[in-house]
């Protein structure tokens, strides 16, 4: 008998990723696991733990209208409202573990509900709901032009757009995504006191009206390989400003997404892949 494991709980998990944005996924439907912020930080460490950008906890819904509920935690232990890549990985997890036999499911998160539809070859379509351009107290910012605002960073005024996909996003247009100061400017904005709960910061290069390139600094995490909700937010901003058409290919560091939005009063859709990496277990 191994005495080391006697007083520890065994937890099974899956490691998954959506375009390089990686997740630890735990099934909490039959037994709920309470993980402290300290433990989440420890598990997320890429050198001494499992390593991930976000942790997804899948739970039974308390509302009969929804098929499932799930919670999302950043690698620093903070719970967040939304994650587009996580939604696709969550959906694939349900299929792989045979937790659903439906082609389309309705799920809830901390503040939103999503419709997840299973397509062919691990491609998943998510109804991300309508983008919210009024989520923030814009009296704190100087308006620059239509849906553009000016943020003062030190002595520089930075023009950006702000939109929520259930979680907050700041979008900055750049001429060349390769040279964008993602880590420096992203960190300064994400941690700015104007955004007490933090904000995700995206740098967008418009190739043409159907194609953009995007790099993202996620709050509490740093630059990631991709961010599904940021891709949705960037396209929504571009369409609202008539810079983009209604169907857009988004090229991120980790791969490509298709975002579709017909405009105000309609839901926005994201289509992209999800991948299962491996299954494992830990003792806590």
Distance CA 56, CA 39 (A): 14
Place of tokens 């191994």: 2
User: What element of type H or E holds 53?
Assistant: none
Q: Which CATH superfamily is domain 138-266 in?
A: Diaminopimelate Epimerase; Chain A, domain 1 (3.10.310.10)
Topology of domain 3-129+274-283, per CATH?
Diaminopimelate Epimerase; Chain A, domain 1 (3.10.310)
Tell me the domain boundaries of the chain.
Answer: 3-129+274-283, 138-266
**Contact yes or no for 272/18 (Cβ under 8 A):** yes
Active site positions, annotated: 83, 227
Per-residue pLDDT tens over the stretch 213-256: 999 999 988 999 999 999 999 999 999 999 999 999 999 999 99
Q: If pLDDT is split at 50, 70 and 90, which confidence band does 3 have? A: very low
Q: Are 158 and 265 in contact (CB under 8 A)?
A: no
Phi, psi of 27 (to 5 degrees): -85, 110
pLDDT tens for each residue of 23-42: 999 999 988 778 899 999 99
The pLDDT of residue 1 is 42
CB 84 within 8 A of CB 231: yes
């Amino acid at each position: 008998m191994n005495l080391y494991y006697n007083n520890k709980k065994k937890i099974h998990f899956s490691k998954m990723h959506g375009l390089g944005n990686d997740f630890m996924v735990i099934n909490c439907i039959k037994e709920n696991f309470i993980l402290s912020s300290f433990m989440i930080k420890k598990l997320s460490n890429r050198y001494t733990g499992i390593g991930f950008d976000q942790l997804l906890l899948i739970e039974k819904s308390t509302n009969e209208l929804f098929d499932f509920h799930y919670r999302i935690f950043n690698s620093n232990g903070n719970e967040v409202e939304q994650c587009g890549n996580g939604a696709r990985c969550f959906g694939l997890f349900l299929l792989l573990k045979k937790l659903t036999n439906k082609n389309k499911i309705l799920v809830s998160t901390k503040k939103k509900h999503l419709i997840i539809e299973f397509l062919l070859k691990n491609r998943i379509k998510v109804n991300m709901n309508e983008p919210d351009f009024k989520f923030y107290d814009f009296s704190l910012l100087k308006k620059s032009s239509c849906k553009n605002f000016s943020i003062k960073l030190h002595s520089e005024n930075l023009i950006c757009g702000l939109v929520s996909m259930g979680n907050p996003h700041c979008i900055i247009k750049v001429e060349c995504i390769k040279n964008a100061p993602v880590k420096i400017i992203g960190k300064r904005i994400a941690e700015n006191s104007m955004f007490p709960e933090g904000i995700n910061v995206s740098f967008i290069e418009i190739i043409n009206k159907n194609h953009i390139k995007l790099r993202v600094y996620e709050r509490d995490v740093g630059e990631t390989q991709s961010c599904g909700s940021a891709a949705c937010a960037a396209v929504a901003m571009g369409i609202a400003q008539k810079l983009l058409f209604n169907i857009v290919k988004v090229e991120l560091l980790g791969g490509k997404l298709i975002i579709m939005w017909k405009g105000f009063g309609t839901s926005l859709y994201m289509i992209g892949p999800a991948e299962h990496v491996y299954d494992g277990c830990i003792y806590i």
